[in-house]
Structure 1
Amino acid sequence: MFSGIVAACGRIEEVTPRTDGVRLTVDVGGLDLTDVTIGDSIANNGVCLTVVAIAGNRVQFDVSRATLDCTVGLETPGAAVNLEKALRLSDRLGGHLVTGHVDGVGEVLRFAPVGDSHELVIRAPAAIAGYIARKGSITVNGVSLTVNRVVGTDFSINLIPHTVAVTNLKHLTASSRVNLEIDLIARYVERLAAWREESAQ
């Protein structure tokens, strides 16, 4: 489990093909690895991955083809990745509850400065658009953000300068694709409503 508060921005150094996926070598930048061991979980661009090797400031992850097929940003050497270590029960929940399981890939329609901040407008896949609510939470490339406006499948977010500075969202342009994870609470509310409807029949 994660909170969507990015701890460091790393860089993919190498992508090595494997039988059913790839092995990523990531330079984790300023991420503190003193408490990280083999088998721990680290979110990369919002994707929960398991640490399989550590060498200095470089961490390796095995990524299955199934994961690669439903996410973006994990197969490009040199690409920046948002990194967050898994939460401890004693940690502050600075963002919102994030599982690291991507629900869909969105398309950036606009990323432009508005005063001191930036406006980010994204088109979500129709299958998850109904879970996105004004003033609700959503994760974009692993970053916990608050939705300002929703129109159909499009939603907008205001990014403060700090968020732009410390994440890879600064590199977005119109037509960029991003990993989206809907709010965990919305997912369970929808399932509960569907279960009650099924039980009543």
Structure 2
Amino acid sequence: MFTGIIRAVGTVVALQRKGSEAALRIDSGKLDLAEVGIGDSIAVSGVCLTVARLANQVFDFDVSQETLSRTVLGKLQPGEGVNLEPALTLKDHLGGHLTSGHCDGVGRVVERTSVGESVRFSIRAPAGLAKYIAEKGSIGVDGVSLTVNGVKGNLFEVNIIPHTLQATTLNEYRPGREVNLEVDLLARYLERLLLGDSAATTRPSLDEAFLARYGFSK
């Protein structure tokens, strides 16, 4: 599990395709590796990967076909920055929101607006994910825990404060940028609880009317 609080920005050293899979090498930069070892989990721009090799601040990861198909990792270029977060431990503060590092899909930045020293992004989510995104709820964008400021159809808005802009890769993003998205775990579990096996087929909208029907709102 992770929290969406980025510990360091790493740099892609190499991405080598191996058939339908890939090997990813990342320089971890200023990430504290005191408690990180081979076999541990690291969220790389929101994607949970297992450390296969580690030497001199450089990680090697094996990336599966499934991960490549659901994320933007396969498009990374040498020199590109990535958000890094080690797995949560019992002694850590939960500063963001709980995330699994299992990305749900890829979104696209459609608008960037400066608001004082902050930046507001409008991001288009895949149609199948939009129903899980709620105003004032949480979402993971390239591994960063963010609060949803507004939702309209498949579009949602997030506001990025100056500290987050400096501590993550988000300040580099412009319209057209693809990003890894992970919706709030609670939304998925709620749908499963209420719909059971039909959740995988019927896919109704998880909106106010739906919640009222099952007694969660009035």
Normalised by the length of structure 2, the TM-score is 0.88
Shift in Å at residue 66 of structure 1? 1.7
Counterpart of 1:29 in structure 2: which amino acid?
A: G
- Could you say which residue in structure 1 is the equivalent of 2:25? 25
Farther off after superposition, 71-80 or 23-32: 71-80
Matches within 5 A, 1:62-101: 62-74=62-74, 75-101=76-102
Structure 2 residue 187 is matched with structure 1 residue 189: no
RMSD: 1.4
Unaligned runs of 5+ residues in structure 2 are 200-218
Query: Cα distance, 1:197 vs. partner?
Result: 7.4
**Separation in 2, partners of 1:20, 1:125:** 23
SS for the counterpart of 2:43 is strand
**2:168 match:** 167
Task: State the secondary structure of the residue aligned to 1:185.
Answer: helix
More divergent stretch after superposition (46-55 vs 108-117): 108-117
Listed as ranges, the gaps of 5+ residues in structure 1 are none
Q: Deviation of residue 171 (structure 1)?
A: 1.0
Where 1:6 maps in the other structure, the secondary structure is: coil
CA contact (8 A) 1:73 1:79 kept: no
Q: CA deviation at 1:90?
A: 2.0
Q: Look up the match of 1:158.
A: 159
What is the count of residue pairs matched by the alignment?
A: 198
Moved more, 67-76 or 109-118: 67-76
Report the 3-state secondary structure (helix = DSSP H, G, I; strand = E; otherwise coil) of the residue aligned with 2:113.
Answer: strand
Q: TM-score, normalised by structure 1?
A: 0.95
Q: Distance in 2 between matches of 1:53 and 1:147?
A: 36
1: CA distance between counterparts of 2:126 and 2:17?
A: 28
Give how far 1:196 is off: 8.9
Q: Percent of counterpart pairs with the same letter?
A: 52
Greater alpha carbon shift after TM alignment, 17-26 vs 107-116:
17-26
Counterpart CA distance in 2 for 1:197 and 1:3 is 30
